[in-house]
Chain A
Amino acid sequence: MKKTAGAGLAAVMAAILTGGSALAQEKVVNVYNWSDYIDDSVLADFTKETGIKVRYDVYDSNEVVFSKVMAGKTGYDIIVPTSYFLSRMIAAGALAKLDKSKLPNLINLDPELTGRMAKYDPGNQYGVIYLWGTTGIGLNRDKIKQRMPNPPANSLAMVFDPAVVAKFADCGVTMLDAPDEVIPAALRYLGENPDSKDPKVLEKAEAHLMKIRPYIRKFHSSQYINDLANGDICLALGWSGDVLQAKTRADEAKNGVVVQYLVPKEGAQMWFDNLAMPKDAPNPDNALAFINFIQRPEVIAKISNKVQYPNANRAADRLIAKETKADPDVYPTPAMLKNLYTVTPNTQAEQRLFTRIWNKVKGAN
């Protein structure tokens, strides 16, 4: 979900340059999306068809877009927050309800996925699933093999079993800097409910994380893409699309690094990035037109094929490249899907508890 800052800066510059020259009567939609998260031709097609110009900005962390929205008056019509951030924005009253009568293409959305998303957005009133993914294991095949001929590659044991992860400490192990991702995964590994908010259960996760802490080089939510691609680390608990992007970068660089992404057999947390509209969006009608356009099967399929994340549109399934659709680590099989979990958003008090545990784990060494 997090991408490089360089692309972000370039896009912001572009937005400033183009933004200044826009005419007042021109129809525009201001889109704020993750970097490297769209097929650019889609934007051109939208403008060609509707006459609405797209001003496209990118960000590389949920935290940044959340803080901007909380401060108000972002000027954006479309933002793409991930599940739990969407739910916090809804709770803060920062988003506008979407007028479903203007979004006929939502009929194709997979009820299985929208049902899961309803945990964060009851009744799916504020967000439309854009793309989704899982939190799993990214690894450097050869470096792992050298250190362990038969690794439990598709298991959380890779990062949570102290005896296993210790073998990889020298070639670099990282985890997301996100307590709401790592703590549930640790609970899942321990056989506890990953959605637990019970302080006693969370204590178990903390105690276990302390056991593997010496073998973790860094907690960071974006550096691991480049580090995996360059061979600077060999194991990461990270987001599916990021690891697949590292794989693409390594393939393109032809540096001999083979990156793999695996969904843990114990189950993984699934996350959804949602098209949503801030309450004070300046062009709400254009925003709805944009969401509806994106949810056309051929449009969203084009995006999925480009960025390698699955979408939630069933009518788009047949348009997805065969090798992407056949890869269960990108498009989990129905059996795997049953094993994927979501977590309930934290209350303010729970958030402080998660943060305290997280600070203790990160600061220990």
Chain B
Amino acid sequence: MTGWRPGWREAAILLPLAWLALFFLVPFLIVLKISLAEPILAQPPYSPLLVWPEGGGWPALGARLDNYLVVLQDDLYVRSLLNALRIAAVSTVVMLLIAYPMAYAMARAPKNWRPALLLAVILPFWTSFLIRVYAWIGILKDEGFLNHALMSVGLIDQPLVIMNTDWAVHIGIVYSYLPFMILPLYATLERLDLTLLEAAADLGAPPWKSFLQVTLPLSLPGIVAGSLLVFIPAVGEFVIPDLLGGSDTIMIGKTVWIEFFQNADWPLASAIAVTMLVVLVAPLALLRRGLHG
């Protein structure tokens, strides 16, 4: 009838797309470009992608895949990625086991309590993340609160070495990311239709059975959302392994930092970042297609 007129609907779709392009696609392309360069001592410290010949003419493409070969050949990078995936996966499972009962209790708590409980979950964000991780150093170190407490009760007579081990990294990640697991779980559990549970009970299902067959499947979106929300940033985590982990706790985020800052090897650091993105995003994209297809 009339021509295409942009309306709210189109704007609502364009806005997130523009956002994605500006803050994800553009930075990614920059990183991709650097990953194809060669490290040089200059400002900036990598070779240009296009080399313009003197006296005009078409530029030559300065792209090389050397950095990706290094990433695949030196087992340090594969090991640190696998290590990061393992630590993130274990932490995610532990968080799920802690967060589910918490979110469940919150969702079933009297309505006027819920805002206060929600606030209690969010409250730690009011303190700097860095300071909260530093606080864990004070708790976990040899001369820290935990060891003093355990020794004064007489449970142990030598301090437990937790600081600078994988244990400390797991504790730090579980602590720091727990709210991001609780909140989506709480959101789905709170919206759960309680009449379904009544129906299950009326039909003779014991509580454990109605939990397994009604509550758990219905909260699956919350479980998936919460797990992804904590797993993905935990894989790339840099601050926690640096402060709480030992030198043999090699995680991919730390490895990228070392290549970028310590060795000033921006191209190699970029190649690691791109590889990591492919490893993380490809399975997720496949998963989405599987779910929708």
Interface of B is mostly: loop
With A70-B264, A218-B164, A363-B79 in contact, is A94–B247 under 8 Å at CB? no
With A172-B142, A177-B247 in contact, is A348–B164 under 8 Å at CB? no
With A64-B261, A218-B164 in contact, is A363–B43 under 8 Å at CB? no
Question: Contact partner of B43 among A70, A171, A227, A359, CB < 8 A?
Answer: A70
Counting CB contacts under 8 A, is A365 at the interface? yes
With A67-B261, A232-B142 in contact, is A92–B247 under 8 Å at CB? no
- Which residues from chain B contact A351 at a C-beta distance below 8 Å? 263
| Residues in A214-259 with C-beta less than 8 Å from chain B | 216-220, 223, 227, 230-232
- In the assembled complex, the CB of B252 is this many whole angstroms from the nearest CB of chain A, namely 13
User: Would you call A67 and B260 a contact (CB within 8 A)?
Assistant: yes
How distant is the Cα of A61 from the Cα of B164 in the complex, in angstroms?
21
Counting CB contacts under 8 A, is B127 at the interface? no
- Which residues from chain B contact A5 at a C-beta distance below 8 Å? 130
- In the assembled complex, the CB of B185 is this many whole angstroms from the nearest CB of chain A, namely 33
Question: Contact partner of A72 among B43, B243, B263, CB < 8 A?
Answer: B43
How distant is the Cα of A349 from the Cα of B40 in the complex, in angstroms?
11
User: Would you call A362 and B45 a contact (CB within 8 A)?
Assistant: no
- Which residues from chain A contact B142 at a C-beta distance below 8 Å? 171-172, 232
Counting CB contacts under 8 A, is A364 at the interface? yes
- Which residues from chain A contact B41 at a C-beta distance below 8 Å? 88, 91-92, 348
How distant is the Cα of A218 from the Cα of B164 in the complex, in angstroms?
7
With A217-B246, A356-B74, A363-B79 in contact, is A67–B264 under 8 Å at CB? yes
- Which residues from chain B contact A355 at a C-beta distance below 8 Å? 258, 262-263
Which residue of B is nearest A70, CB measured? Answer: B45
Counting CB contacts under 8 A, is B193 at the interface? no
| Residues in B19-59 with C-beta less than 8 Å from chain A | 39-45
Which residue of A is nearest B42, CB measured? Answer: A92
Counting CB contacts under 8 A, is A71 at the interface? yes
Counting CB contacts under 8 A, is B250 at the interface? yes
Counting CB contacts under 8 A, is B276 at the interface? no
Counting CB contacts under 8 A, is A66 at the interface? yes
Residue interface bits B246-259, CB-to-A below 8 A is 1, else 0: 11101000000010
Residue interface bits A51-74, CB-to-B below 8 A is 1, else 0: 000000000010110110111100
Counting CB contacts under 8 A, is B141 at the interface? yes
Q: How large is the interface on A (under 10, 10 to 19, 20 to 34, 35 or more residues)?
A: 35 or more
How distant is the Cα of A365 from the Cα of B44 in the complex, in angstroms?
37
Question: Contact partner of A219 among B161, B247, B265, CB < 8 A?
Answer: B247
Interface of A is mostly: helix
User: Would you call B261 and A92 a contact (CB within 8 A)?
Assistant: no
- Which residues from chain B contact A88 at a C-beta distance below 8 Å? 41, 264
With A218-B247, A219-B247, A363-B250 in contact, is A94–B264 under 8 Å at CB? no
- Which residues from chain B contact A9 at a C-beta distance below 8 Å? 130
Counting CB contacts under 8 A, is A19 at the interface? no
User: Would you call A232 and B143 a contact (CB within 8 A)?
Assistant: yes
Counting CB contacts under 8 A, is A104 at the interface? no
User: Would you call B250 and A231 a contact (CB within 8 A)?
Assistant: no
- In the assembled complex, the CB of B124 is this many whole angstroms from the nearest CB of chain A, namely 18
How distant is the Cα of A93 from the Cα of B248 in the complex, in angstroms?
36
How distant is the Cα of A9 from the Cα of B131 in the complex, in angstroms?
12
User: Would you call A365 and B248 a contact (CB within 8 A)?
Assistant: yes
Residue interface bits B185-211, CB-to-A below 8 A is 1, else 0: 000000000000000000000000000
Counting CB contacts under 8 A, is B117 at the interface? no
Counting CB contacts under 8 A, is B76 at the interface? yes
With A231-B143, A359-B76, A362-B248 in contact, is A94–B43 under 8 Å at CB? yes
User: Would you call A93 and B246 a contact (CB within 8 A)?
Assistant: no
How distant is the Cα of A362 from the Cα of B164 in the complex, in angstroms?
13
- In the assembled complex, the CB of A233 is this many whole angstroms from the nearest CB of chain B, namely 8
How distant is the Cα of A202 from the Cα of B243 in the complex, in angstroms?
29
Which residue of A is nearest B80, CB measured? Answer: A363
User: Would you call B164 and A217 a contact (CB within 8 A)?
Assistant: yes
| Residues in A306-365 with C-beta less than 8 Å from chain B | 348, 351-352, 355-356, 359, 362-365
Pick from B39, B44, B246 the residue with the most CB of A within 10 Å. Answer: B246
- Which residues from chain B contact A91 at a C-beta distance below 8 Å? 41
- In the assembled complex, the CB of A250 is this many whole angstroms from the nearest CB of chain B, namely 12
How distant is the Cα of A297 from the Cα of B266 in the complex, in angstroms?
41
Question: Contact partner of B44 among A66, A71, A232, A364, CB < 8 A?
Answer: A71
- In the assembled complex, the CB of A194 is this many whole angstroms from the nearest CB of chain B, namely 20
How distant is the Cα of A356 from the Cα of B283 in the complex, in angstroms?
31
5 closest pairs, A vs B, by CB? A63-B261, A365-B248, A219-B247, A362-B247, A92-B41
Q: Which residues of A contact B (CB under 8 A)?
A: 5, 9, 61, 63-64, 66-67, 69-72, 88, 91-94, 170-172, 177, 216-220, 223, 227, 230-232, 348, 351-352, 355-356, 359, 362-365
Task: With A63-B262, A232-B163, A348-B39 given, name 7 new contacts (CB 8 A).
Answer: A71-B44, A352-B263, A355-B263, A359-B76, A362-B247, A363-B247, A364-B248
28 interchain pairs, CB-CB under 8 A: A63-B262, A66-B261, A67-B264, A70-B44, A70-B45, A71-B44, A72-B43, A88-B41, A92-B41, A93-B43, A170-B158, A171-B142, A172-B142, A216-B247, A217-B161, A217-B164, A218-B247, A223-B243, A227-B141, A232-B143, A232-B163, A352-B265, A355-B262, A359-B250, A363-B79, A363-B247, A363-B248, A364-B248
